[in-house]
Structure formats: C-alpha cells, structure tokens
C-alpha cells in the first residue's frame, strides 16, 4: 500500500513537473523571445519587457511579410536599450559577425496614446522601424549583387529596394529617359525643377513616417515617385504633382520632429483624398467643415463652421482637401487634438484607416465606409 502511495506521489510530482514545464514554454514572454530568436536571430537583453519585445517582433514582421526578397540567413543580433542615448540614436556595431544594436528607451514612449482605437493596432513607434530597417538593409549588402556600400555606411540599393517593395515608390533620378518624361510633366504644373537627390538618412526618415499609415495604404498605385528638389517656386516645402511627391531639401531641415511628420503625412493624405475616397465620401467629409463651393472665393470654397472645428489654420484656410490632409496628419500625430476639434472627423478617418488595415487586399477606392 505504502509503495503504491509512493508511486502515486512520484507520478504526481512528474505530472506536476511536466505541467510546470508546459506552463514555462507557454509563458508569453519566453515565447516572444524565442520567436525573435528563431525567426530573426534576434536576441534581446533580459531587461526588455514583454511589450517591448512584442513591438520589436511586430516591426520585424511588418517588414518581412511583404518582402519576398529576403531569403538569406540573418546574422545574429543583440538588442540593448539605453537610457542615455537620445531618441534619434541607433547604434549598430558589428563584433565578430554579431550585430550589437543599442536603441534609446525613448523609442518606446509613444507620446500621446489612445486606447481602443484602430490606430493603436498598427501604430507603434516608428523609430524602432527605422532601427530594424537599418539592420535589414545593411543585411542585404551580404548579397553579392547588392554590394554597393555608400560612404555613410548604408546600402543605397537596398533602401531603394525596400522603398519599392513596401511602398511602390521609385526615386526620380537625374539623367534617365524616365526622368525626362517626369520633368516634362512637372514643367506643365510648376515649371522647371532642379532635381536633387535624397540622402540615405532622408529616405529612412521618410519610410519611418510612411509606416505610420495602416498597411493597406502603404502602396497607392497612383503614387509612384519621390522627387527631391533643390528648391521650388513656392513658400512651402513639399507638394504633390501628378503621380509624384516632391520634397525640397528644406523639408529635411525642419527641426521639430512632429512638424516634420505632419508635412510628410499631409502630402500622402492628399493621395488618399484623390484615390481612397469616392465622390460621395468626399462630399460627406466636406459637410463636416460646412464647405461650400464658392466662385467668388480665391480658393473656390467657403465654409460655415468656425475655426475651432479645424485642426490648424491651414485646414481652415483653403478647401476640404487641405482640411482632410491636415486632419489625417493630426489623426496620426495628435489624435486627441483632432478629437477635440471635431469628433466626427476623427471617427470618419478612424473608419477609413480601419478599412485599410488589412494588407492582403490591394489598394482600391472605397465605395462606402461600411463595406469595401
Ligand atoms: Zn496640402
């Protein structure tokens, strides 16, 4: 009898132990850490929280799931968080084939955040995206055909590949037959353009902001080119012309990060106005600002709503399209400010964002906010 009890106890201990073991494996923190390890050869230090590891994993996945191009093995990397580094600092050092990445803890503080909105699902700090993209693009230089390392240490070809692959964007280069065609098109609208070139750093900055849009908006078929110009005959710093966004060098001199983001988001939002919304939805949006066509107004529109229902002076100044572009930028950067100035605009944009949050559906114009 005692023997049987002993056996039972041993068996019980074994069962308890093995269930502990199972529990250990299912520990979400460990699962995250091992997923990072197995899928991307990423090791994070033990100080990383579950939430931080999740953000890193999401970032890797957001890049890899769209890129069929990355098939080679990934060298191991060790990720460290430092309180001392400032927000723009990403340090990548390679020691004996292992990449050591140090990022600032600021990367994880998301500023203004809201709960339970569509935005939270796709919006996480894009500084991290920049770090991962940088690690990956450096990685791509391992492919022989892609070995073209520029002076600043990042692979231009790889950056252009990511730009094309993820956002469907090509750069307007100087002196190609294609450039000449684009130049002719631009001449019609804005006269002669002095084409300059983006630096790698500038392109990384742009990508990290494009990434703030839901995945289904990353590629807009009619948005094909990025052009960098020395200067343009306008007071602002970025415009859209035909199928191209033009940034002047002035854009990248904007010191305030939020202001810089606003400019980039604003321009892309114009393409959404043009290609994501149909006439009915544009009309619905115009109602929120009380916009009416007016031939006597120099911008062709007047509005009945007060300034306080618009996010910026510029949103209030011209037409429903500018109101939309400013509001979309605010939805991403300052959601609470948009909500305070106009909750209906906030809800409208939130619905549009939700409809594009699925990356598996190719971009197409919305017919309605309730169905796709
Ligand atoms: Zn605009």
**What pLDDT score does 353 carry?**
95
- CA 339 vs CA 79, 115, 350, 353: distances in Å: 37, 13, 11, 15
Higher pLDDT, 191 or 119: 191
C-alpha of residue 304 to centroid of ligand 1, in Å: 21
Say yes or no to pLDDT of 370 above 50: yes
Model confidence band, residue 213 (pLDDT cutoffs 50, 70, 90): very high
C-alpha of residue 325 to centroid of ligand 1, in Å: 6
C-alpha of residue 263 to centroid of ligand 1, in Å: 9
C-alpha of residue 319 to centroid of ligand 1, in Å: 10
Say yes or no to pLDDT of 270 above 70: yes
C-alpha of residue 269 to centroid of ligand 1, in Å: 8
Say yes or no to pLDDT of 132 above 70: yes
C-alpha of residue 291 to centroid of ligand 1, in Å: 16
Higher pLDDT, 73 or 24: 73
In this structure, the dihedral spanned by the alpha carbons of residues 25, 28, 34 and 35, taken in order and rounded to 10 degrees, is 130
Of the ranges 61-70, 110-119, 186-195, 228-237, the best mean pLDDT one: 186-195
Q: With contact defined as beta carbons under 8 Å apart, do 172 and 182 qualify?
A: yes
For residue range 307-321, list pLDDT tens digits in order: 999 999 999 999 999
Mean pLDDT computed over 152-173: 76
C-alpha of residue 254 to centroid of ligand 1, in Å: 17
Mean pLDDT computed over 118-124: 40
C-alpha of residue 215 to centroid of ligand 1, in Å: 22
**What pLDDT score does 311 carry?**
98
Higher pLDDT, 199 or 153: 199
C-alpha of residue 321 to centroid of ligand 1, in Å: 7
| Burial (CB count <10 Å: 0-12, 13-18, 19+), residue 185 | middle
C-alpha of residue 53 to centroid of ligand 1, in Å: 37
Model confidence band, residue 149 (pLDDT cutoffs 50, 70, 90): very low
C-alpha of residue 362 to centroid of ligand 1, in Å: 25
| Burial (CB count <10 Å: 0-12, 13-18, 19+), residue 155 | buried
**What pLDDT score does 193 carry?**
80
d(CA 281, CA 124): 28
**What pLDDT score does 283 carry?**
97
Q: With contact defined as beta carbons under 8 Å apart, do 107 and 44 qualify?
A: no
**What pLDDT score does 298 carry?**
92
C-alpha of residue 322 to centroid of ligand 1, in Å: 5
Rg, the chain, Cα only: 25
d(CA 198, CA 242): 20
Nearest to 244 by CA among 303, 316, 312, 187: 187
**What pLDDT score does 21 carry?**
45
C-alpha of residue 313 to centroid of ligand 1, in Å: 12
**What pLDDT score does 118 carry?**
42
Work out the mean pLDDT of the chain and round it to a whole number: 79
C-alpha of residue 276 to centroid of ligand 1, in Å: 16
C-alpha of residue 238 to centroid of ligand 1, in Å: 8
Question: Of 69-83, 128-142, 318-332, where does mean pLDDT reach its minimum?
Answer: 128-142
- CA 119 vs CA 45, 130, 332, 349: distances in Å: 29, 19, 8, 10
Strand-pairing partners, residue 246, are 227, 239
C-alpha of residue 350 to centroid of ligand 1, in Å: 20
**What pLDDT score does 328 carry?**
98
Q: With contact defined as beta carbons under 8 Å apart, do 280 and 259 qualify?
A: no
C-alpha of residue 271 to centroid of ligand 1, in Å: 10
Side-chain half-sphere CA neighbours of 261 within 13 A: 20
d(CA 200, CA 156): 6
Structure pTM? 0.67
Say yes or no to pLDDT of 351 above 70: yes
C-alpha of residue 80 to centroid of ligand 1, in Å: 39
Q: With contact defined as beta carbons under 8 Å apart, do 79 and 93 qualify?
A: no
C-alpha of residue 371 to centroid of ligand 1, in Å: 28
C-alpha of residue 316 to centroid of ligand 1, in Å: 12
Q: With contact defined as beta carbons under 8 Å apart, do 229 and 187 qualify?
A: no
C-alpha of residue 242 to centroid of ligand 1, in Å: 14
Model confidence band, residue 19 (pLDDT cutoffs 50, 70, 90): very low
Q: With contact defined as beta carbons under 8 Å apart, do 338 and 327 qualify?
A: yes
C-alpha of residue 281 to centroid of ligand 1, in Å: 19
Mean pLDDT computed over 270-277: 95
d(CA 152, CA 269): 31
Mean pLDDT computed over 9-14: 51
For residue range 65-106, list pLDDT tens digits in order: 444 444 455 678 899 988 876 655 667 777 877 888 888 887
C-alpha of residue 331 to centroid of ligand 1, in Å: 15
d(CA 217, CA 219): 6
C-alpha of residue 84 to centroid of ligand 1, in Å: 38
Element holding 159 (H helix, E strand): helix 156-167
């Amino acid at each position: 009898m005692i023997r049987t009890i002993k056996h039972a106890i041993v068996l019980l201990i074994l069962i308890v132990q093995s269930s502990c073991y199972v529990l250990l494996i299912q520990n979400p923190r460990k699962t995250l850490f091992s997923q990072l390890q197995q899928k991307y050869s990423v090791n994070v230090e033990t100080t990383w929280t579950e939430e931080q590891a999740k953000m890193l994993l999401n970032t890797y996945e957001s890049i890899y799931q769209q890129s069929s191009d990355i098939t080679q093995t990934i060298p191991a990397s060790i990720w460290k968080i430092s309180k001392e580094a400032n927000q723009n600092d990403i340090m990548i050092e390679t020691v004996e084939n292992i990449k050591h990445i140090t990022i600032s803890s600021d990367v994880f503080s998301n500023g203004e955040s809201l709960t339970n909105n569509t935005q939270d699902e796709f919006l996480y700090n894009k500084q991290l995206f920049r770090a991962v993209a940088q690690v990956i693009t450096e990685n791509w230089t391992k492919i022989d055909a892609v070995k073209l390392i520029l002076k600043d240490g990042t692979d231009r070809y790889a950056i252009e590949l990511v730009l094309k692959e993820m956002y469907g964007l090509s750069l307007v280069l100087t002196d190609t037959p294609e450039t000449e065609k684009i130049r002719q098109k631009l001449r019609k609208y804005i006269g002669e353009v002095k084409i300059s070139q983006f630096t790698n750093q500038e392109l990384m900055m742009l990508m990290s902001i494009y990434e703030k849009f839901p995945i289904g908006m990353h590629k807009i078929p009619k948005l094909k080119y990025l052009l960098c110009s020395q200067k343009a005959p306008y007071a602002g710093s970025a415009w859209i012309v035909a199928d191209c966004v033009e940034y002047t060098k002035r854009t990248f001199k904007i010191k305030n990060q939020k202001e810089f983001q606003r400019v980039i988001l604003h321009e892309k939002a114009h393409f959404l106005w043009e290609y994501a919304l149909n006439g009915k939805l544009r009309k619905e949006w115009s109602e929120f600002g009380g916009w009416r066509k007016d031939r006597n107004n120099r911008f062709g529109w007047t509005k009945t709503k007060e300034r306080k229902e618009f996010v910026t002076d510029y949103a209030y100044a011209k037409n429903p399209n500018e109101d939309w572009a400013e509001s979309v930028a605010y939805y991403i950067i300052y959601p609470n400010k948009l909500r305070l100035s106009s909750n209906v605009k906030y809800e409208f944009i939130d619905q549009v964002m939700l409809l594009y949050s699925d990356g598996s559906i190719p971009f197409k114009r919305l017919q309605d906010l309730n169905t796709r």
